[in-house]
Structure 1
Amino acid sequence: MTSHRSPLLRQLASEFLGTGLLVTVVVGSGIAAQNLSPADTGLQLLENSTTTAIGLTVLILALGPISGAHFNPVVSAVDWVLGRRHGAGLRPVELAGFVVVQIVGAIGGAVLANAMFEVPAAIATTDRVTTGHLLGEVVATAGLIFLIFALARSDRGAWAAPAVGAYIGAAYWFTSSTSFANPAVTIGRVFSDTFAGIAPTSVLPYIGAQLVGAAVGAALIVLLYPLVGRAAGAAVIPSSISSTS
């Protein structure tokens, strides 16, 4: 964990921009995949997942030194929970700010993707709730949380960008839900009635499954890395840009 952190306003701007652009990548590549491969759903998913994995990696590398590149309310929440006993991680006011800007950024990212591809503004109609899909969200989120904090605790934060990007890209395929694993992204994808969209009625069940997954991932990381709380604040990667930079 570094001794210098960016001012809160700069961190919030980073989380807003990063989460927004992440949703732009997810939704925009989904729209492009629909246009390029209209008759092949498997190819659409390959195009969408590959672009998302690469885009997420780039965003973590670009913005991680400012805010840690959480781009995800459950990552921020687990960072706060794990760090409380060690005086590390986000403070409550920072957590609240991160969650708000992540959600607002995600909505803006979907709107931006729609605008770029000239897709009419509409609420998504794709109902994604099944027992298998919700289990997939638990698995996807638990794995993501475990990966992020295992890397932070073992001082391998330099690997976080490619590792997290690779994990999300793979989880598109090995989970039935295609790995949303992110409440802000889930909410943002409501605002695009396209390949990547999710109906409003599916949002609360998905977020519930993501919270369960986050709790499972946190429990596993505490079990296997008992002192992980000391690394809170170094997830996804340590923020290292001081107020004079």
Structure 2
Amino acid sequence: MSEFSLKQRLTAEALGTAMLVGTVVGSGIMADRLSDDVAVSLLGNTIPTGAILVVLITILGPISGAHFNPAVTFVFWLKRNLSLTAGLSYIAAQIAGGICGTLIAHVMFEEAVLQASTTARTGPAQWVAEIVATFGLLASILAGIRFREAAVPWLVGLYITAAYWFTASTSFANPAVAISRAFTDTFAGIRPVDLPGFIVAEFIGAALALALFSWLLTPEKTAGEKAVSS
């Protein structure tokens, strides 16, 4: 049982997701304005995202677990670390916070506050990339908690930094972030019509990671241990 109330945890989830999305969208706008080179702009989007994840997980993790991601919340619900009510509340807070982060980024950069993305991100390659991206993210979290919990902020930040570049989708790996990015017609956007494919792929990747790592992280008994237990 957490020492923090559900209200405090939901606030942490909403705030963390807002700051994460604000960083993704804001750094994308800044990078796009500073360079006409897409590769340079992507790098300018990547580094702040990885960096803010380290910060947010470090400062808010002790309060809510620092999910900031419905796919992560889904996995922890499956692991029975969260009740269904708390899990659904986390997801609602994440989505609301993420959308607020997008809108605040627009205000900071004097963009139209209300937008809908026109950036197409769809097709089998993109969906497979999101399965891979989310699988790797959950693998980093689950194995990190098992072997070196204090390193989880860095593991997640570094993984997302890398996954921006090795996945065709630039590693959304987060349904709340995907939904929030549909509200911006800037560098980081995704068309609303493309959301279902991304979201389904992200939950598939999360479920696959849980299935594999539930087995992989559980040591098998030796022959001697089995004999003693029997």
Quick check: 1:117 aligned with 2:114? no
The answer to whether residue 141 in structure 2 is matched with residue 144 in structure 1 is no
**Matches of 1:97 and 1:189 in 2, distance apart?**
21
Aligned-pair distance for 1:4?
A: 4.4
| Counterpart for residue 76 of structure 1 | 73
Tell me which amino acid in the other structure corresponds to 2:5. P
Matches within 5 A, 1:84-123: 84=80, 89-120=81-112, 121-123=114-116
Write the deviation string for residues 191-242 of structure 1: whole angstroms up to 9, x where unpaired: 1100000000110000011011111111111120138xxxxxxxxxxxxxxx
The residue correspondences of 1:1-245 to structure 2 (distance < 5 A) are 4-37=2-35, 39-82=36-79, 84=80, 89-120=81-112, 121-154=114-147, 156-226=148-218
* Map of 2:224 onto structure 1: none
Q: CA deviation at 1:189?
A: 0.4
Higher Cα radius of gyration: 2
- 1:106 and 1:116 map into 2 onto residues whose CA distance is 15
Normalization by structure 1: what TM-score?
Answer: 0.87
Root mean square deviation, CA, Å: 1.1
Q: How far apart, CA to CA, are the structure 1 residues paired with 2:208 and 2:2?
A: 31
- 5+ residue gaps, structure 1, are 228-245
Q: Counterpart amino acid of 1:221?
A: F
Rounded to whole Å, the distance in 2 between the matches of 1:184 and 1:23 is: 9
Spell out, residue by residue over 1:57-86, the C-alpha distance to the aligned partner (whole angstroms, 9 max, x if none). 11111111110100001101101102x3xx
Going from structure 1 to structure 2, the CA distance change for 1:225 and 1:113 (only over 3 Å counts) comes to: same
- Partners of 1:206 and 1:10 in 2: CA distance: 30
**What runs of 5+ residues in structure 2 fail to find an aligned partner?**
220-230
The number of equivalent residue pairs is 218
| Aligned-pair CA distance for 1:5 | 2.6
Q: Distance in 2 between matches of 1:119 and 1:104?
A: 20
- In 2, the alpha carbon distance for the partners of 1:169 and 1:73 equals 20
TM-score by length of 2: 0.92
Higher relative contact order (CA 8 A, sep 6+): 1
Runs of 4+ aligned residues of structure 1 deviating over 4 Å after TM superposition are none
Q: Aligned partners of 2:2, 2:134: CA distance in 1, in Å?
A: 29
Give the secondary-structure state (helix, strand or coil) at the position aligned to 1:191.
Answer: coil
2: CA distance between counterparts of 1:10 and 1:104?
A: 15
- C-alpha separation in 2, matches of 1:170 and 1:195: 19
Residues 144, 155 of structure 2: 8 Å contact kept = no
Between the aligned partners of 1:125 and 1:61, the Cα distance in structure 2 is 34
How far 1:131 moved relative to its partner? 1.3
Identity %: 47
